[in-house]
Amino acid sequence: MIKTQTAVPMGFTGETFPAGTHMCLVYSDDAERLESIAKFLEAGILNNEKVGYFADAAPPDEIKKALLGHMSAGAARSDGAKLDVRTARDVYCPKGRFVPGEMLDTLRGFYDSAVEEGYGNARASGEMSWALKGIPGSDRLVEYEALINDLIVTHPLTPICQYNANLFDGATILNILKVHPMMIVHGQVVRNPYYQEPREFFKTYAGNTR
């Protein structure tokens, strides 16, 4: 099994972080977002990691082309084997409903397959705007995000969850910040002062369905 203490590159910053670092990117500048995420995915490709991207704003082929346009030639040549771009709806809601436990199983499977296929690690990033489209169960989004922090203890894939500040309301963004230990600010990863461990968070979270 891949060790949790393994340090992995982020791409958009010179610092390395432990595999399994759960990060959120709350953004309003789409060009800056695309640049950071492309570098994050490129770093995974060059680091022999299994890399996933879950797209919502545009079709996977269009998103993949845009991401590769921000990567080096070496990473672009490797994309077919290592960069898996799928629609967010197909990943998060394959049966037309969002069920946190099922999505956590998907992430476990993604990590386990990386180990079985001989990759050095695994990372993924998702556009979370799918949760604003009225899909049943999408009101459990924050609950799911909190539970990822337990998942990565045993399955340390490195995720970046993308939230467009122009689309999500302030209350949701605040809850999202509470469940991500690290956040990306202007291309730098910083410790999130709002973060709460899952057990602490669920004591007060109004949307708790556990």
Q: How many domains does the chain divide into? A: 1
Residues 6 or more apart whose Cβ sits within 8 Å of residue 41: 11, 51, 53, 67, 71, 75, 83, 123, 125
Is the pLDDT assigned to residue 23 strictly greater than 90? yes
Which structural domain range is residue 117 located in?
A: 18-204
Q: What value does the mean pLDDT take over residues 173-180?
A: 95
Instruction: Specify if 90 maps to a domain.
Output: yes
| 79 vs 156, residue with greater confidence | 156
Q: What value does the mean pLDDT take over residues 113-140?
A: 96
Is the pLDDT assigned to residue 3 strictly greater than 50? no
Is the pLDDT assigned to residue 76 strictly greater than 50? yes
Question: Residue 187: which pLDDT band, with cuts at 50, 70 and 90?
Answer: confident
Pick the closest to residue 23 from 174, 167, 148 (CA basis).
148
Q: What value does the mean pLDDT take over residues 71-99?
A: 84
Is the pLDDT assigned to residue 5 strictly greater than 70? no
Instruction: Specify if 6 maps to a domain.
Output: no
What's the pLDDT score for residue 4?
47
At residue 209, what are phi and psi to the nearest 5 degrees?
Answer: -115, 10
Instruction: Specify if 48 maps to a domain.
Output: yes
Question: What CATH number does residue 81 fall under?
Answer: 3.40.50.300
pTM of the complete model? 0.92
Q: What value does the mean pLDDT take over residues 105-116?
A: 96
